[in-house]
Amino acid sequence: MKFFIDTANLAEIQKVYKMGILSGVTTNPSLVAKEGVKFEDRIEQILQAVPEVESVSAEVTPDAVTAEQMIAQALELAKINNNDPKITIKLPMTLDGLEACRYLSKKGIKTNVTLIFTVNQALLAARAGATYVSPFLGRLDDISEDGVQLVTKVAELFRVHNLDTQIIAASVRHPDHVTRVALAGAHIATIPFKVIEQIAKHPLTDQGIAKFAADWQNAVK
């Protein structure tokens, strides 16, 4: 399973990119709004900050509701950073979103159909030509449904029907989500910076470092 980072914060993206584990970035209107920056500018900055990843998701804005509006916006986003091939247009899972997905995939523009909450939605998006689908684990868990189970089923369905759409496990809230979606067959997990820190850490690692430092100090004396 590959790692994407789920943020529009440049410092976080740069930090994780330098670690060499990053395959992509996902953003959404809430994440961009939090940064207080112009949407297109931030997407350009992200594209330039991560030259060696496969995908940077830019979501059509909430005022683009019809397929025509989404396509018009997507075609502008696709021009950013000299038609950067990493740009991936994130589209909501609606009938118009599917229409836009079909149009853009025929044009060779990468797409990520987001806000997926059922297996059927994932299947529709894959059939519309989506490069990626994003099932939202945490938000399902929030309403007492099993988000990981959804990823398991989508992975099985894509395998059975030989669909090459990649599954991005999204709305990841904690380290256990990461392990479980990897085992469930997600191709990618998009993870907030805080969770990347959490999965890198272990109290025994910290204790071990402290003990080595103390022993080293004693030996030097």
- Footprint of ligand E4P on this chain (CB under 6 A)? 6, 26, 28, 114, 134, 136, 138-139, 170-171, 190
Of 104 and 167, which has the nearer Cβ to ligand E4P? 167
Show the CA angle centred on residue 67, arms to residues 66 and 69, nearest 5°: 65
List of long-range contacts for 159-163, beta carbons under 8 Å, 24+ apart: 159/185, 161/123, 163/123, 163/126, 163/127
98-101 long-range contacts, Cβ below 8 Å, gap at least 24?
98/124, 98/125, 98/128, 99/67, 99/128, 100/60, 100/67, 100/70, 100/71, 100/74, 101/125, 101/128, 101/129, 101/130
Annotated catalytic residue within 2, 86, 90, 110:
90
Which CB sits closer to ligand E4P, 134 or 152? 134
- The nearest distance, CB 89 to ligand E4P, in angstroms, is 13
Rounded least distance, CB 172 to ligand E4P, Å: 6
Find the shortest distance in angstroms from Cβ 97 to ligand E4P: 14
Q: How far is the CB of 24 from ligand E4P (least distance, A)?
A: 10
Nearer to ligand E4P, 136 or 158 (CB): 136
- Of 109 and 161, the one with the shorter C-beta distance to ligand E4P is 109
The distance of closest approach from Cβ of residue 216 to ligand E4P in the complex, given in angstroms and rounded to an integer, is: 41
Nearer to ligand E4P, 8 or 104 (CB): 8
- Nearest by Cα to 165 from 126, 109, 114, 108: 126
Does the annotation mark 106 as catalytic? Answer: no
Catalytic residues: 90
